Structure 1
Amino acid sequence: MRTEGKISKVAICEKCNGFILAGHIDYIDKQTEKEFTEFTNEGFTVKLETADETRSREFADYIKCSSGFCKN
């Protein structure tokens, strides 16, 4: 997929709005795509957004987010 500008695919925690995994869409390999699918299955939001939007988020701790102990 070719896109204009800097676009990233991001797995986001619904509770704290931090990102668990982010990758530039031109560089996502099969393993990373599998991880995004698993995050979706676990209830995280996976979406495309600009690199600036991703940079404005905080990196979230998967263990805390998946167990519900992340910050609000």
Structure 2
Amino acid sequence: MYLYYLLSAFGPQIQPYLWWKRYITRLQLIQFAILIVYSIYCVTSGDLDLPESLKWLGAIQPFIFFYIFI
């Protein structure tokens, strides 16, 4: 992702070579979906010794990122 940002900063002449942008976005959406499943597991199971507020904060964050990237 950061390599894409670096290369796109070089201007429009490099844009034809950045065809793989959609694949990076799809991989990030898959990553956020995995994090959503994991955060639901963490909130519902009693395995973590964290305050409930931190569990919920960690559970809400992947939903927000997923929404932003979609």
State the TM-score, normalized to the length of structure 2. 0.27
Structure with the bigger RCO (C-alpha within 8 Å, sep 6+) is 1
Structure with higher strand content? 1
State the TM-score, normalized to the length of structure 1. 0.26
